Structure 1
Amino acid sequence: MPLRKSLALACAMPLVLLSAPLHAEDDSAVAAVIDEGLNRNEALLRAQDLMDRIGPRLTNSPGMRKAEEWAVKEMAEIGLSNIHKEGFEFGRGWEQVRSDVWMLSPRPIELTAIPLAWTPGTDGRIEGEVVVAPMSKKEHFEAYRGKLAGKIVLVSKPGTGDEPSTAPFNRLETSDIAKRDTMALPTYDPHAIAEREAKGTLVRGDFTLALDEFLRSEGAIAWAKISYRDGKLLHGSNYTYLSGRTPQLPAFEIAAEDYRRLARLSRVGPAPRVSLDSEVRFTDDDTKGYNIIGEIPGSDPKAGYIMVGGHFDSWAAGDGAVDNGASTVAILEAARILKATGAKPKRTIRFVLWSGEEQGLLGSFAYIRQHIASRAGEENAIPGAEPSFWADSWPITPKPGYSELKAYFNMDNGVGKIRGIHAEGNVAAESLLGKWLKPFASLGAEKVVSGSTSGTDHVFFQRLGLPAFQFIQDPLDYSARLHHTNIDTFDHIPADDLRQTSTVIAGILLQAANDSATLPREPLPKKPVETKPFEWKYPDED
């Protein structure tokens, strides 16, 4: 884009001299990556375009469909090859059109609130008294039978406040990174797995549907839960996205401060009256989610491929900037840097923007099942619980793509600059990872730690013994206030950190694609034996 290029050139700065020595042709290519990434970086402009113009990217929502089109266009503009979308079955699309929540008595106050994703609107304004009826499992329902007709039910415990005691914004000290250089012993508890399956707790959203059915049968008109953070932060997360599993009652998340005010007034009486008015839209024309994929082809078709990815979807309360728009923009910028420098990798470099991560790593899981491996009995998994079922099914059968993937790097730790790489327990890979990081030590990216991370899209690759890694990043205020919240917007992307991350990613990918050595794999996992066979298990234990 002309504006991007003109602003990037205007912000050019002298090439930073890094500490690692350069070695002929390969290191000249890395130097070119550093020059392009630091002096002509376009990531911030691309981030603004995505976050301000498109915004939230809830899986399968109209916003996500716009973002998918945007990503395909961006990849084409960068000059990537084999650009395509890979679909997987997901469920319904949903978006909030508008919402308006007020306390009417004992005095009028506009409340900070948001509809829960994949719940219906109010179909016009409704109002009623609130009743505090905390329910977190089905056994709690009976205590409120006959008491909820015509009420707006507050289903969370209100608590008494949670004032912060630590700084919300921080960068990692060397000692913080060192603490990650440790391996946790794996555990395997077949009893716990069987218990989860027996209770049906593998499908997220089951309790929400049971709660909705109970409240509706009791004549409640709506329900609300408390935000799990103070500071007027909202999230709106919910998991009833599967077709045929949509709640019937409107449901909201209310800011913690407003929720506790309602609860206090209700306790001393009379109960406050609240009005709710929300309009939402479901879309069912296409129930598939889509991963967006593009490549820089390698010169050796037998050399396999290197892959980098991050999840493109977000929750709907904010614009998904920190989680995880900035990382996907950094990945696109890494691709642009490599193309701009004329990089000629030996191995193909594949760039992937995952969908459905927020609902359980569904996009990367679909990629695994399509390209990498299968597991016994996976066709019998309960819809909505496939990833959990798959993780504990044996044996594993590799597909042809298993041997083709030489390394996967994942970006999903906010917007802080890269400080190193988690080796994810693959200790044999640490030496080579350290070699590839060395040119970026002066940019702060230098440490390889043995520790592992969880909860994002490298997990299923790792569970197959593949060399799959998550970068170490400065946390900033990711967990403190931005993760999944309504203030996750462009304003919280540090420009220099984004420039650093995209440059480091590009350099790591180039070296991984060209190095004569490949990262060692861990063994293909086999079913473990029970870790603690002499622990007693009792049926009445939680």
Structure 2
Amino acid sequence: MRHYVKAIMLSTVFAANLNAQTTDPMVQKIMNETYQNSQLEQLAYELLDGIGPRLVGSPKMQQSHDWAVERFKNWGINAKNEQWGEWKSWERGTSTIEMVAPHNRSIEGMQLAFSPATGSKGVTADVMMLPEFTSAEQFQSWLPTVKGKFVMVSQYQSTGRPEYNWKEFATPESFEKMKKESELASEKWQASIKATGETSRTLNAKLEAAGAAGIVSSNWSRGFGVNKIFSAGTKKIPVVDISLEDYGQLYRMIQHKTTPKLKITANSNDRGMAPTFNTVAEIRGSDKPDEYIILSAHLDSWDGGTGATDNGTGTITMMEVARILKKLYPNPKRTIIVGLWGSEEQGLNGSRGYVSAHKDQMPKIQAVFNQDNGTGRIANISGQGFLHAYDYLGRWLNAVPKELTKDIKTTFPGFPGGGGSDHASFVAAGVPAFMLGSLNWSYGNYTWHTNRDTYDKIVFDDVKSNVALIAILTYMASEDPEKASGEKIKLPVDSRTGERMKWPEVKEPTRKGGLD
């Protein structure tokens, strides 16, 4: 009940302030629909709790594409799935990690994506720690000792408290001591990995080839109880990531000459190759149907959590914007496209595939609005190196109620984004494409690619603000009598190379992935 009262109060405040700022009835309607009839919570439940994580190529990824198409069609919006490639199809199952010696206990952890299964009886083996090396020869001499063992391959962390917690409670002397010790340990670890001639990405395959029974990592994300979850990097042996707390205990046992033994049971399914798609929805334009505004978000995620803030929030934001505009503005002047991309996480593959397949659209795009960095309200927008972005973005932003824009920092003309998210695929093609950067909400440490990126981390008040902002920007971009300029700035000279910087190049997606 308190949430319901809060929603009414928010919409009332916005409506009262809006009346004094704008005379455009469409802006008023968008605000009212956003705050009084939001579908965000329902969309989030269906996508995140109902479907779950959306790893490229997986059955869950396909399910999410089909769900999105059905949702759009239910709103009267034409939508389809466009194939751009294929990927190794892997499906996460249940997994257990148990310490069976020197005593029995459950270990907190999970398989990494694409980890091979173990079979129903699991794998039981002694655990050993990757030592520190000074040369590749030393590493090669050591490799045979991993045969039949689980190998721990991550740096030991002496503290599981994030830096902000130390800074708040420790004495200045203790805080500085911790930082120096942590920096020194990290430098030593990185030097050791470099000395092997391998990287953190190639090491697992070397250990597998040497006969290791499995690999245990702990990719700490510098927050309480949070780890990054990425790919296994093996073809036959299981790879698990476990909590910093449990990893530390295993490490200390080994340091004290006690050999722990683990049993790992991993029930994943390798489904061969599967087609990969983008979901593309369209509200056809009336006056200028061959000019386009693209609402951009990637639908795929890593699968440590349910991909709530990376990028479930961006997905449901763009879907909700489309729902609102279809209801209130069904005949836009320009065609509005929603692109829910696949495989952003492996290198912007879905959006690159769209740019490649729709080359004829690129010169006719009015703007691309991209959302992909957490649950926070939009706080910064860059002109991405487009010389006149200040003019047209400024006009469109000026129509948005000040409650939504008063804290947004803009940078014009800015520099072209070469990566990071899907706007970069369009920027490379010379399209005015803008990343709508959000407030942090501890995104980097706590939810970006982690085992804690789940529904409960969504701040729906902020997401609603983003919906209203993007819907109004889209409406203004559609109504604008002028075509937005794609003229680029003259890039400066790179001080490191002495040569003029170059605009990012258009790249083709990886059409067949996950085989390495």
Q: Distance in 2 between matches of 1:138 and 1:33?
A: 63
Gaps spanning 5+ residues in structure 2: where? 167-197, 500-516
Tell me if the contact between 2:129 and 2:151 (Cα under 8 Å) persists in the aligned partners. yes
Tell me if the contact between 1:87 and 1:288 (Cα under 8 Å) persists in the aligned partners. yes
The aligned residue for residue 226 of structure 2 is 233
SS in 2 for 1:437: helix
Distance apart, 1:137 and its partner CA: 12
Q: Distance in 2 between matches of 1:77 and 1:146?
A: 59
Distance apart, 1:101 and its partner CA: 0.5
Number of paired residues? 455
Counterpart of 1:295 in structure 2: which amino acid?
A: E
Tell me if the contact between 1:434 and 1:447 (Cα under 8 Å) persists in the aligned partners. no
The aligned residue for residue 270 of structure 2 is 282
Distance apart, 1:273 and its partner CA: 1.1
Q: Distance in 1 between matches of 2:364 and 2:134?
A: 45
Tell me if the contact between 2:293 and 2:336 (Cα under 8 Å) persists in the aligned partners. yes
Q: Deviations over 1:107-133 (max 9, x none)?
A: 222111111111201122211111111
The aligned residue for residue 363 of structure 2 is 403
The aligned residue for residue 247 of structure 1 is 235
**Which residues in structure 2 correspond to 1:250-269 (within 5 Å)?**
250-269=238-257
Say if 2:400 is the partner of 1:443. no
1:121 to 112, 117, 133: 117
SS in 2 for 1:315: coil
The aligned residue for residue 152 of structure 1 is 150
The aligned residue for residue 307 of structure 2 is 320
Q: Deviations over 1:121-149 (max 9, x none)?
A: 11222111111115899947414222112
SS in 1 for 2:345: helix
SS in 2 for 1:90: strand
SS in 1 for 2:144: coil
Say if 2:329 is the partner of 1:369. no
Check 1:417–1:524 CA distance in 2 against 1; reply closer, same or farther (3 A cut). closer
Check 1:209–1:428 CA distance in 2 against 1; reply closer, same or farther (3 A cut). closer
Tell me if the contact between 2:154 and 2:219 (Cα under 8 Å) persists in the aligned partners. no
SS in 1 for 2:358: helix
Distance apart, 1:414 and its partner CA: 0.5
SS in 2 for 1:92: strand
Q: Distance in 2 between matches of 1:28 and 1:292?
A: 31
Tell me if the contact between 1:11 and 1:39 (Cα under 8 Å) persists in the aligned partners. no
The aligned residue for residue 423 of structure 2 is 458
Counterpart of 1:88 in structure 2: which amino acid?
A: W
Distance apart, 1:99 and its partner CA: 0.6
Counterpart of 1:116 in structure 2: which amino acid?
A: L
Length-normalised TM-score, structure 1: 0.77
Q: Distance in 1 between matches of 2:46 and 2:472?
A: 25
Q: Distance in 2 between matches of 1:46 and 1:478?
A: 21
SS in 2 for 1:323: helix
Check 1:421–1:208 CA distance in 2 against 1; reply closer, same or farther (3 A cut). closer
Q: Distance in 1 between matches of 2:436 and 2:201?
A: 37
Counterpart of 1:56 in structure 2: which amino acid?
A: P
1:132 to 129, 133, 149: 129
Q: Deviations over 1:442-484 (max 9, x none)?
A: 1245442234564111112112332110113111121231111
Say if 2:514 is the partner of 1:516. no
Tell me if the contact between 2:93 and 2:267 (Cα under 8 Å) persists in the aligned partners. yes
Check 1:371–1:149 CA distance in 2 against 1; reply closer, same or farther (3 A cut). same
Tell me if the contact between 2:386 and 2:432 (Cα under 8 Å) persists in the aligned partners. yes
**Which residues in structure 2 correspond to 1:333-372 (within 5 Å)?**
333-372=320-359
Q: Distance in 2 between matches of 1:225 and 1:365?
A: 32
Distance apart, 1:529 and its partner CA: 8.6
Distance apart, 1:517 and its partner CA: 2.2
Tell me if the contact between 2:295 and 2:318 (Cα under 8 Å) persists in the aligned partners. yes
The aligned residue for residue 198 of structure 1 is none
Q: Deviations over 1:216-242 (max 9, x none)?
A: 3432111122222253323331175xx
Distance apart, 1:531 and its partner CA: 5.9
Check 1:456–1:16 CA distance in 2 against 1; reply closer, same or farther (3 A cut). farther
Q: Distance in 2 between matches of 1:422 and 1:19?
A: 29
Say if 2:213 is the partner of 1:221. yes
Distance apart, 1:10 and its partner CA: 9.0
The aligned residue for residue 17 of structure 1 is 17
Gaps spanning 5+ residues in structure 1: where? 1-5, 169-205, 241-245, 373-399, 536-542
Length-normalised TM-score, structure 2: 0.81
Tell me if the contact between 1:466 and 1:522 (Cα under 8 Å) persists in the aligned partners. no
The aligned residue for residue 45 of structure 1 is 42
Q: Distance in 1 between matches of 2:17 and 2:316?
A: 25
Say if 2:76 is the partner of 1:79. yes
Q: Distance in 2 between matches of 1:369 and 1:141?
A: 44
Distance apart, 1:309 and its partner CA: 0.9
Q: Distance in 1 between matches of 2:426 and 2:134?
A: 33
Distance apart, 1:301 and its partner CA: 4.1
Q: Distance in 1 between matches of 2:54 and 2:497?
A: 45
Check 1:369–1:207 CA distance in 2 against 1; reply closer, same or farther (3 A cut). farther
Name the stretch that deviates more: 108-117 or 14-23: 14-23
- Percent sequence identity is 30
Q: Distance in 1 between matches of 2:240 and 2:426?
A: 36
Q: Distance in 1 between matches of 2:208 and 2:321?
A: 51
Distance apart, 1:260 and its partner CA: 1.8
Say if 2:292 is the partner of 1:295. no
Check 1:466–1:525 CA distance in 2 against 1; reply closer, same or farther (3 A cut). farther
Q: Distance in 2 between matches of 1:134 and 1:63?
A: 38
Check 1:219–1:228 CA distance in 2 against 1; reply closer, same or farther (3 A cut). same
SS in 1 for 2:434: strand
Counterpart of 2:261 in structure 1: which amino acid?
A: R
Tell me if the contact between 2:348 and 2:421 (Cα under 8 Å) persists in the aligned partners. yes
Check 1:20–1:136 CA distance in 2 against 1; reply closer, same or farther (3 A cut). farther
Distance apart, 1:19 and its partner CA: 7.5
Check 1:493–1:213 CA distance in 2 against 1; reply closer, same or farther (3 A cut). closer
Q: Distance in 2 between matches of 1:17 and 1:95?
A: 49
Q: Distance in 1 between matches of 2:133 and 2:485?
A: 45
The aligned residue for residue 65 of structure 1 is 62
The aligned residue for residue 429 of structure 1 is 389
Check 1:507–1:109 CA distance in 2 against 1; reply closer, same or farther (3 A cut). same
